[in-house]
Amino acid sequence: MAPSAPQPDWEARLPGEQWVVLDSVAAAERYLSTYPADKAIIQREPYPNPQGLFARILFVERVQQDRVYISPASSE
């Protein structure tokens, strides 16, 4: 059996954060386009990376940050 793809550390997620795992860079870009530019700062990460983290979404009035991951098995 092949080892499973790395997953986000779900236990590190703070209450109120939204973390999503998508299947492609294109899907991630479409998802990121839904955030209002005046309320969210999108911080793209160097991708690909071992964690599969594509972007962090920072908010002016919140400590929490949303995250977008891409499933490595799907992005090949």
Instruction: Provide the domain count of the chain.
Output: 1
Query: Does any domain span residue 39?
Result: yes
**CATH number of the structural domain spanning residue 59:** 3.30.720
Residue 75: inside a domain, yes or no?
no
Q: Which domain holds residue 31?
A: 14-70
Whether 7 maps to a domain, the answer reads: no
pLDDT at 62: 84
- List, as own/partner pairs, every contact residues 47-52 make where C-beta atoms lie below 8 angstroms and the sequence separation is at least 24, other chains included: 48/72, 48/75, 50/6, 51/6, 51/8, 52/5, 52/6, 52/8, 52/21
pLDDT of residue 75: 41
Residue 38 lies in a domain: yes
Supply the pLDDT for residue 24: 95
Block means of pLDDT (10 residues each) for the chain, 76 residues, are 67 92 96 93 94 94 91 59
Tell me, yes or no, whether 63 lies in a domain.
Answer: yes
What confidence score (pLDDT) does residue 57 get? 96
